Structure 1
Amino acid sequence: MSELQLSNVRKSYGGLEVIKGVDLDIKSGEFVVFVGPSGCGKSTLLRMIAGLEEITSGDLTIDDMLMNDVDPSKRGIAMVFQSYALYPHMTVRENMGFALRFAGVPKVEIEKRVMEAANILELGPLLDRKPKQLSGGQRQRVAIGRAIVRHPKIFLFDEPLSNLDAELRVHMRIEIARLHKQLAATIIYVTHDQVEAMTLADKIVVMRAGVVEQVGSPLDLYDDPANLFVAGFIGSPKMNFLKGVIETGDGEVYARLPDYADTKVPVALTHVAPGMPITVGIRPEHFKEQGSASLDLTIDMLEHLGGETFAYARHGNGELVVIETKNGRGLKSGDGIAARFDPACALLFDESGKRLR
């Protein structure tokens, strides 16, 4: 296990800066997930850590040793890509041991490491098969096994589950989580899927346009997002955002929602001024029958998931509001619904997207 630090790391291609000063500390044994929309720089940052992309400026250290100019093969890192990249003419055993054989490791040691990895990944019965005889999930486990046999300091995963179907993705998430626990390894994992990030990570790094927006545990980011982007990106279905304006009256401060029949939502803030535009954020599960604030909406569509239902509703021609309900079986499209919520559960954001606290 190893620690890794990034200090003001930047990456430019000519005049285009794609990584804009990233500072990050990754502790030994942590499972860290880089998450963000396509093009945000998460894979580029991972490749810089691996040594596959040069660092334009800033420092990368592993166990307090500067790695900027160290050859990728000498960084003690193993990388698992989105593509399995297995040799089709080799067996599973040969694929897993190839890098060690190429490095001149003795045959006895190679066999020992391959068997250890095969036992961890439950690949024992498949060792003499070739890739074409394996399922997608089995091939990905072979690719992971090929990384394990190298005994790396740090594992890097670049969207490893993107080529799998939904059921296999869930199964492989469980396998990777179990692997992390068993190996107590330091893992850095890239994905655009925030569900993967929430279920796997000890720490999530949310990126946008080459900048780290927020770092924290999955539930910290979910409960306490720093800005509108993080609030909307973390959570499925995403948070509802309602446009409002600050007003005062009868000694109270509240947000008036013009698009929702001027509904008033009490605001427990003192550093806001009347007329200030704000955004009120409400997660679908925060709509409850007992809430003191209410939105009068009409249901457009219902998404029945068995134990719960998501109602997609709107006021007039306004934006859709997603409401989680346990009583969805009695609802139908076209029904009116009073979507009640506790104002204390609402998050407030200013015009720039910064969280108001």
Structure 2
Amino acid sequence: MSELQLKHVRKSYGNFEVIKGVDLDIKTGEFVVFVGPSGCGKSTLLRMIAGLEEITSGDLTIGGERMNDVDPSKRGIAMVFQSYALYPHMTVRENMGFALRFAGVPKAEIAQRVGEAANILELGPLLDRKPKQLSGGQRQRVAIGRAIVRHPKIFLFDEPLSNLDAELRVHMRIEIARLHKKLATTIIYVTHDQVEAMTLADKIVVMRGGVVEQVGSPLDLYDDPANLFVAGFIGSPKMNFLKGIVETNAGGEKHVRLADFGNATLPIAVKDVTPGSTVTIGIRPEHFGDSGSASLDLTIDMLEHLGGETFAYARHGDGELIIIETKNGRGLKSGDSIAARFEPTAALVFDADGRRLR
């Protein structure tokens, strides 16, 4: 049984509709990430689950019980925000136990819960410090601990790592993944960073303009995107997109001609597409190599050396940049001409409206 369900959920502010009919099932113990560009509605959807925003229409159920009109404190949910929101005059211990103390939980139980959370988050030596004596990562762990002590059924995270530097973000991602395994609790996590989504999620919900574009595991979305938006959003570096025209050769077989790449032709099977139609070919950087039946003649603009691998940024003439992952990039230099080879079977095809052609 699903722990949380959204059925035809909509949210409007006056005549402006922000969430446009979301249907979603989240199972017990899943780590689900809402991801998408700024303004796509992911944080609004999270706040509706938390009870901080009213649902205009549709139903939210948790454990089979309708929650639309249930007070946030009675939903069995704890939320961790981007802002730590710690009380500066209180110790870590007092910050973590404040909500329990406010709810009238006995002191002995508060001490037990705070101690358990501190052990999970390795905060024991910091319990008597004030927030100003903590690093950003430590403050975020205290904020998470404040949620853990409530023993919620569901954790909600709203871009909790946005205020941290790059190195600390990586560390905290590992900490949150470890926490999920240890607690085995349902987590719903909002981020605009697809790397966070790919590394943390059991299931990713990709949103755009208040609509769910696709739901699936990280690798399912990476390997089998439903449309051009998902294909371009999931993956780092992003997928390369090549504009092409469907044509038919003398033998009646269809192929795709790339006018922007010296009229190179790709023997890609394009079913149910009328010759003359415009399509977009998607190729991931790692699909280029030293072999393959298709080839693009490119000139390297710049190289990004990362040690074990190199990304070449190249183009044909004045066309769009193509990102190529190469294992032997140390021998390349800016201005080199290369033949970027790949197997057409690795390419994805999208129609003029961005829908995947299979």
Describe how 1:61-100 pairs up with structure 2 within 5 A.
61-100=61-100
Distance 1:71 1:47 in 2: 13
Deviating more after overlay: 49-58 vs 247-256: 247-256
Q: Report what 2:184 is aligned to.
A: 184
Distance 1:322 1:277 in 2: 22
Distance 1:10 1:2 in 2: 20
Q: Report what 2:333 is aligned to.
A: 332
Distance 2:318 2:2 in 1: 54
Distance 2:167 2:274 in 1: 50
1:266 positional shift: 1.0
Distance 2:292 2:47 in 1: 48
Q: Report what 1:345 is aligned to.
A: 346
User: Counterpart amino acid of 1:161?
Assistant: L
1:312 positional shift: 0.5
1:251 positional shift: 3.7
1:2 positional shift: 7.3
1:84 positional shift: 0.3
Q: Report what 1:153 is aligned to.
A: 153
Q: Using structure 1 for the length normalisation, give the TM-score.
A: 0.99
Q: Report what 1:172 is aligned to.
A: 172
User: Counterpart amino acid of 2:80?
Assistant: V
Q: Using structure 2 for the length normalisation, give the TM-score.
A: 0.99
User: Counterpart amino acid of 1:35?
Assistant: V
Distance 1:150 1:42 in 2: 24
1:42 positional shift: 0.2
Contact 1:205 1:216 in 2 (8 A): yes
Contact 2:2 2:25 in 1 (8 A): no
Contact 2:36 2:207 in 1 (8 A): yes
1:293 positional shift: 0.4
Distance 1:292 1:33 in 2: 38
Contact 2:156 2:187 in 1 (8 A): yes
3-state SS of 2:24 partner? strand
3-state SS of 1:288 partner? coil
3-state SS of 1:204 partner? strand
3-state SS of 2:257 partner? strand
User: Counterpart amino acid of 1:319?
Assistant: E
Q: Deviations over 1:127-166 (max 9, x none)?
A: 0000000000000000000000000010000000000001
Q: Report what 1:310 is aligned to.
A: 311
Q: Deviations over 1:230-263 (max 9, x none)?
A: 0000000100000001011134211100000011
User: Counterpart amino acid of 1:261?
Assistant: G
Distance 1:223 1:208 in 2: 20
1:94 positional shift: 0.3
3-state SS of 1:3 partner? strand
Q: Report what 2:128 is aligned to.
A: 128
Distance 2:34 2:319 in 1: 34
Q: Report what 2:243 is aligned to.
A: 243
Q: Report what 1:300 is aligned to.
A: 301
Q: Which runs of 5+ in 2 are unaligned?
A: none
Distance 1:301 1:12 in 2: 46
Contact 1:51 1:71 in 2 (8 A): yes
Describe how 1:152-301 pairs up with structure 2 within 5 A.
152-249=152-249, 250-301=251-302
Q: Deviations over 1:54-93 (max 9, x none)?
A: 0000000000100000010110100000000000000000
1:272 positional shift: 1.8
What is the total number of aligned residue pairs between the two structures? 357
User: Counterpart amino acid of 2:191?
Assistant: T
Deviating more after overlay: 178-187 vs 269-278: 269-278
Task: Give the % identical residues.
Answer: 85
1:269 positional shift: 3.2
Q: Which runs of 5+ in 1 are unaligned?
A: none
3-state SS of 1:273 partner? coil
1:291 positional shift: 1.0
3-state SS of 1:274 partner? coil
Contact 1:197 1:204 in 2 (8 A): yes
Distance 2:2 2:28 in 1: 5
Q: Residues 82 and 2 of structure 1: is their aligned pair in 2 closer, same or farther, counting only changes over 3 Å? A: farther
3-state SS of 2:238 partner? coil
3-state SS of 1:48 partner? helix
1:268 positional shift: 2.1
- Aligned CA-pair RMSD: 0.9
User: Counterpart amino acid of 1:306?
Assistant: G
Q: Residues 2 and 131 of structure 1: is their aligned pair in 2 closer, same or farther, counting only changes over 3 Å? A: farther
Contact 2:79 2:147 in 1 (8 A): yes
